[in-house]
Each structure stands twice: as structure tokens, then as C-alpha cells.
């Protein structure tokens, strides 16, 4: 087995193979460095507001988001105004100053996945909704207050849930 070069590891490895396709769906995770639990509750409203401004500006159409204490998961359709990296960089830059006052910063890079057209949006939205339950941050039947799903997706997704909340069997 040959050793990996510096180019193949670390933050640059996340960029390898990254594509930016207008109007494609993306599932993105952005994390803090260090992974301090400062996003909830202080930064979460700012993060959601900026993600919605990116929608209003045509950078993307936010479909779903959950803010966790030290990271956030986003599911969106990329617009045609910015590349994937530019859109995520804008989200980070608009919230960075407040995060820095709390002793953290955004990690330099981010994790992204471009689902295939045949991939289930339901599975992605379910994962995003379940993340705080799986982490033990909230218990059924309470809703996670830092979860957002746009109306067009919530209309069909809500019907697959227990009144907008995860079914107990999803949490096992």
C-alpha cells in the first residue's frame, strides 16, 4: 500500500471530485472548529436567517436545515448565481463574526453530497430531522426548535411523520 500524498488527505481531500451543478440538490454539513457547542441556541436563528437570505438572493433554494450545537445539516437546490463553494462560503462568512466571539470558527471546508435524481429526498430530510433526536438533544414527542423544512417539502413530508414529529420506531 502506497502512502498518501498531502494532496490526498486533510481538508483538500474534501474538495476532490466536488462538482457545482446549478439546480442540482445538495446535502451539506458544515462544522465548527473546534467542535464547541455554541450554535444552539445563540447562532441558530442567524444561521437559519442567512440560509433563507441565500434563497431570496437566488443562490440556492433551501429545502431543509437542522442546526446542531457544533454543526449544521442543509439540504438545498443550488441556484445559478453562485457555485456550491461560494454559496457555503457566504453562509459561513455572514455568521462567522458571532461564532468567533464564542471561541470557535467554521471549519475551512465542508462535507457535501450531490444525491442522484433517483435518490430519495425523503431519506435525506428524515436524516436531517432525526439528527438531534439521535444525538439525545431532544426527546419524542418534543420538536427540535432548530429544524426547518420549506413549505413545499413539508407538505408531503409531514404526512409521512407522526404529526410532524418522528415516529418512535425511527428513533430506535
pLDDT per residue as tens digits for the range 140-158: 888 999 999 999 999 999 9
**Domain count of the fold of the chain:** 1
In a domain, 155, yes or no: yes
In a domain, 70, yes or no: yes
**Residue 74, pLDDT score:** 98
Contacts of 6 (CB under 8 A, 6+ apart): 12
Domain residue limits at 53? 24-164
In a domain, 15, yes or no: no
By C-alpha distance, which of 144, 146, 150 is closest to 171?
A: 144
In a domain, 151, yes or no: yes
Which tens digit of pLDDT belongs to each residue from 6-35?
Answer: 444 444 444 444 689 999 999 999 999 999
In a domain, 53, yes or no: yes
Distances 145 to 14, 49, 140 between C-alpha atoms, Å: 30, 14, 13
- We report the CATH number of the domain holding residue 76 as 3.30.70.1290
Amino acid at each position: 500500500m502506497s502512502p498518501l500524498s498531502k494532496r490526498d488527505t486533510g481538508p483538500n481531500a474534501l474538495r476532490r471530485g466536488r462538482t457545482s451543478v446549478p439546480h442540482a440538490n445538495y446535502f451539506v454539513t458544515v462544522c465548527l472548529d473546534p467542535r464547541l457547542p455554541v450554535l444552539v441556541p445563540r447562532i441558530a436563528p442567524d444561521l437559519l436567517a442567512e440560509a433563507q437570505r441565500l434563497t431570496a438572493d437566488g443562490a440556492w433554494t433551501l429545502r431543509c436545515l437542522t442546526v446542531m450545537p457544533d454543526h449544521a445539516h442543509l439540504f438545498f437546490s443550488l441556484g445559478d448565481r453562485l457555485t456550491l463553494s461560494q454559496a457555503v462560503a457566504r453562509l459561513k462568512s455572514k455568521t462567522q463574526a458571532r461564532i468567533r466571539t464564542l471561541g470557535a470558527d467554521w471549519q475551512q471546508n465542508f462535507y457535501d453530497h450531490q444525491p442522484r435524481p433517483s435518490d430519495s429526498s425523503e431519506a435525506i430530510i428524515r436524516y436531517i430531522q432525526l439528527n438531534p433526536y439521535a444525538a439525545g438533544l431532544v426527546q419524542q414527542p418534543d420538536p427540535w426548535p432548530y429544524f426547518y423544512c420549506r413549505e413545499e417539502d413539508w407538505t408531503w413530508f409531514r404526512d409521512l411523520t407522526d404529526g410532524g414529529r418522528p415516529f418512535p420506531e425511527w428513533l430506535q
